[in-house]
Structure formats: C-alpha cells, structure tokens
A = this chain, B = another copy of it.
Amino acid sequence: MSGTLDARPKVGYFYSGKPDINLISQEIKGIKVKDIMSIPVVVTEDMSVYNAIVTMFLEDTSSIYVVSDGSLVGVISRKDFLKNAIGTIDINKVPVAMIMTRMPNIATTSPEEDVLVAASKIVEHEVDSLPVVEKVMRHEKQKLKVVGKISKSNMTKLLVELCKE
C-alpha cells in the first residue's frame, strides 16, 4: 500500500500550506460509526484474567468488552491487563470483573454517530477503542447492547482509505 502511494505521480497536486478544513469536514462528516466499525470481542465477568488475556491474543484485539446478561458492564484494555499481569494477583483465579473499568466510566458510541465525534471521544478519553452500543430495555431498565467496536486502528485505516485513488 505504501508502495502505491510512493509510486503515485503527483499530477494536479497542490498544497496551500493551510488545509481547507471545511472541504475535509464536509467529506468526512457523512461517515457514520456503523460504516467502519469492527466486530467486538466480548467475555463474561466471571472469566479469569489469564483466560481473557489469552482471548485477547487469539482474537488479536487491543480491548475486550465485558457483558452480563447481554449488557455492557465493563471494558479491559491491554494496559489494564499488563498492569495486573506484573502485579501480585493470581491471574488464573481473579475474574475480569475485579480489574475492568465499569459503567458509568466507559466512553461509548452508537452506530449512527459521526466517526468524527467518535474520534474526538477516543482522543479526549485517551482510550484505544469505544464499544459501539445500542440502548435496549431489559426488565424495565435501560441497558447497553454491544454491537461493535471502533478503535484508533479504524481511524488510521479511514485516513488511508479516504485518500486512496
């Protein structure tokens, strides 16, 4: 891919020194989270930290979402895992519920949200990814169903895709 970009003749190329932000804004603003989101990796809160780390490697993902009764209850990042893997806890016995970040401290997005808003949330909250959720009613309470994942990888790919010929 970098070869393609390298080899591409710069016909008609110009750079004013200051990007016309309105143009770029307009182009990107029509793109929704659902257009570029990935499949989430989901585990239950009773899974051991060790097994969750193995799952993370098997699925090659940087964050795992924890669900209870089908609803989002927690998020664990590679950083959370690393912190606990070098700590004193027995990662074979301790469940992920002990180390995860819990609601309402989880930044989320929805399928219909603009990718730019999602990107801003990732930057602002300093996280690797956001769970993409839909609000559902369960036992007369509002819950969040995980339907996707959007990460800094998706944003980097978007940047590349937008500029491909």
Contact = CB atoms under 8 A, between A and B. Distances in A.
A27 B50 CA distance: 46
Contact of A24 (B4, B12, B16, B162): B162
Interface residues of A, number: 60
The majority secondary structure among interface residues of chain A is: helix
Given A123-B160, A155-B155, A24 B21 contact: no
Interface in A126-155: 151-153, 155
B123 A1 contact: yes
20 contacts: A1-B123, A1-B124, A2-B121, A4-B120, A10-B29, A12-B22, A15-B29, A19-B28, A24-B27, A24-B162, A50-B86, A53-B86, A57-B79, A78-B82, A85-B85, A122-B156, A123-B156, A152-B156, A155-B155, A156-B156
